[in-house]
Amino acid sequence: MSKKPKIQRASGMRDVLPEEQKYFQKILDIAENVVDFYGFKKIDTPILEETELFSKGTGLLTDIVQKQMYNLKTKGGDFLSLRPEFTPGVIRAYIEHGMKNLPQPVKFYSFGPLFRYEHSQAGRHRQFHQFNIEVIGEGDPVIDAQVIQIFYNILSELKLKNLIVEVNSIGDPQCRAYYKKVLTSFLKHKESLLCPDCRRRLRENPLRVLDCKEEKCQKITSQAPQIIDHLCEDCHRHFKGVLEFLDEIELPYRLNPYLVRGLDYYTKTVFEIFIDETQKTEDDKPAARSALVGGGRYDNLVKLLGGENTFAGGGAMGIERVVIAMKNKNIKIIKSDDRSVFLAQIGSMAKRKGLKLLEEFRKAKIEVGESFGKDSLKSQLKMADKMKAKYTLLLGQREALEGSVIIRDMENGKQETVKIESAVKEIQKRLKK
Ligand code: HAM
């Protein structure tokens, strides 16, 4: 029986192995391509930020800040946290670098790891990755629609079908405060029927009761007054505008009056994108429906973090969840290890010359397979076959002494000896045919 290694990865953390890197790369390539079209620029912010940035930005009442942050105290006495999301860091950078002086809106995208101390399960990890976008400095509802459209386009280009876009408006602090009162008084009468978490939420953040996944709570909230009916005129007009733009671009969406999102900074539009089926876990068990993308407008965050009153909105896509969705749909990434040319060598002198020759091919941007660690010709030729090489360069002791190399056509077995200096040119000529 094989023994477990003593040191294993920390609980909830994952290695992204080469097989999965292909998916990450593909998702990033497509996402960058799409946002580039819409004029987004890349921004990298630190993985470690002051804890206060998140307690203020993400919000003291959120599960993220209350339960999920990785906090540390430095030797110098600073309180820092591993970022649980991108948005507060990007906004801090916007303020810190005086970007209000740039033509507005500024559009940023980021990609990288985030950390949340969660119960790990399928699609929920303690270190995960997001592709995140933010549009700062524009309040028009067209921006909200465009953010949704961007993620919809990325997922569609990844060949994911049956996407469900859910949208809602949670108003601004004024109309939401009034709605909270209406909702609280409705829920107060039924408090004893709520789950313990929702009883706490009722006091701290009653809106979060609306997106509780417990059946008994959902039974109650399905009867609750809806925020849509309590929006102020401005929020109502804004939401109508977003929906009209979505209709115009024929993007299918569903109104979900229970969608409130788990972060404190949202104002007006909130949205999530799902895939229309129960996701399966990596070990093939069905998992709870989880969003691939989440986002919305947050018009008060810049001010809250010390900047001026500035409109903003954005969203983020969870890479691991998109990978699971792609695998469930059998979407394959074809990035083969095939090489059209293979370089085989026999003997130490040939190995040295081969190393130099390989560099010539690299400079000429021709991918050449090799197996310098192997000395037997037979096993090297086996490797060439595996890589489906069209040509194999054979470099033995004699060729090394003569300054030549044999080009073997792997299809018909024909061999030709050429000068080592002209090997690149000869291969180029043959590959062009
Ligand atoms: P979020 O809903 O917390 O929003 O996260 C966005 C997405 O990240 C989720 O829909 C999910 O795909 C993925 N995700 C979240 N937590 C985990 C986890 N523990 N494991 C795996 N994937 C996860 C935000 O983070 C906002 N900052 C989005 C935003 C940007 N809003 C405006 N701008």
pLDDT digit string (tens) for 348-404? 999 999 999 999 999 999 999 999 988 899 999 999 999 999 999 999 999 999 999
Q: What pLDDT is stored for residue 284 in this prediction?
A: 47
Mean pLDDT of 244-256: 97
**Alpha carbon nearest to ligand 1 atom 4, residue:** 294
- In a 13 Å sphere around the CA of 412, the CA atoms on its Cβ side amount to 3
pLDDT digit string (tens) for 34-79? 999 999 999 999 999 999 999 999 999 898 999 999 999 999 999 9
In terms of domains, do 42 and 73 share one?
yes
Q: Determine whether the shortest distance from the Cβ of 135 to ligand 1 is under 6 A.
A: no
Burial of 197 (0-12, 13-18, 19+ CB in 10 A): middle
**Alpha carbon nearest to ligand 1 atom 12, residue:** 318
pLDDT digit string (tens) for 127-143? 999 999 999 999 999 99
Q: Determine whether the shortest distance from the Cβ of 390 to ligand 1 is under 6 A.
A: no
Mean pLDDT of 317-326: 96
In terms of domains, do 128 and 28 share one?
yes
Q: Is residue 200 part of a domain?
A: no
CA gap 155, 412 in Å, rounded: 44
Q: Determine whether the shortest distance from the Cβ of 315 to ligand 1 is under 6 A.
A: yes
Q: Determine whether the shortest distance from the Cβ of 62 to ligand 1 is under 6 A.
A: no
The Å distance, Cα 263 to ligand 1 centre, comes to 10
Residue with tokens 């010390």: 306
* Domain count for the chain: 2
In terms of domains, do 308 and 411 share one?
no
CA gap 347, 400 in Å, rounded: 9
334 falls in which pLDDT band (50, 70, 90)?
confident
Question: Ligand 1 pocket: which of 119, 128, 265, 311 to mutate (most atoms <8 Å of CB)?
Answer: 128
Nearest atom (ligand 1) to Cα of 298 = 32
Q: Is residue 66 part of a domain?
A: yes
In terms of domains, do 264 and 396 share one?
no
In terms of domains, do 48 and 160 share one?
yes
Question: Domain range spanning residue 246?
Answer: 18-172+232-328
In terms of domains, do 149 and 267 share one?
yes
277 falls in which pLDDT band (50, 70, 90)?
low
Q: Is the pLDDT of residue 282 over 80?
A: no
Final residue belonging to a domain, choices 272, 298, 328: 328
Q: Listing from the earlier edge strand, what are the strands of the sheet with 312-318?
A: 41-42, 106-115, 127-136, 312-318, 293-297, 269-275, 163-169, 254-255
pLDDT digit string (tens) for 83-101? 999 999 999 999 999 999 9
CATH of the domain at 424: 3.40.50.800
The Å distance, Cα 366 to ligand 1 centre, comes to 40
Q: What pLDDT is stored for residue 230 in this prediction?
A: 95
Residue with tokens 């102020």: 232
Residue 410: CB atoms within 10 A of its CB come to 17
In terms of domains, do 324 and 347 share one?
no
Q: State the DSSP code for 331.
A: -
Q: Is the pLDDT of residue 148 over 80?
A: yes
Query: What is the average pLDDT value for the chain, to the nearest integer?
Result: 93
Nearest atom (ligand 1) to Cα of 86 = 27
Q: Is the pLDDT of residue 286 over 50?
A: no
